[in-house]
Amino acid sequence: MTDLKLLALDSEDLDVISATTQDAVVRVPDLGYAAGDRRFALLMNRYAWEAGERGKGQRRRTALSFGRVGNVSFEGINMNAAEGVLELLDIRFTATDDPAGSIELRFAGGGTIRLAVECIEARLEDLGAAWAAKGRPEHSL
């Protein structure tokens, strides 16, 4: 399977990235905000939903970054947890003064990262590493 490279410049594009990263596993030390560059980035092990129903599926090492970020806030996440692991549920955009708004990364257990952004500018890129997943993520309705 080829590596994914996605760019989001509007909320519809961001919905595609959200669906692609659903159930990604993120280590707390792999989150970071570079205020000088106005960039928030994270490394994740995402479940490759695009691989379809073949066996147990696979996970891929992936980088996701957001540009034009003015502020970052964390709710329900201990950023000092060196061994902390988060499971990404979805990514949402809410316009405040279009195109500016807030991007929320929501995690299982209630944790949320909020990015105050000038506009949507997100980039997702697989980094090449892939391995067999232990199982397919499932959710009860």
pLDDT at 140: 61
What are the φ and ψ backbone dihedral angles of 69, each rounded to 5 degrees? -95, 125
Dump pLDDT digits (tens) for 54-85: 556 899 999 999 999 999 999 999 999 999 99
Q: How confident is the model at residue 134 (pLDDT cuts 50, 70, 90)?
A: confident
- Residue range 93-108: average pLDDT? 97
Whole-number Å distance between alpha carbons of 44 and 30: 8
Q: Please give the structure tokens belonging to residue 67.
A: 């540009």
Q: Is the dihedral of CA 8, 123, 14, 100 positive or negative?
A: negative
Question: Each residue of 19-43: pLDDT tens digit?
Answer: 999 999 999 999 999 999 999 999 9
Amino acid at 129: A
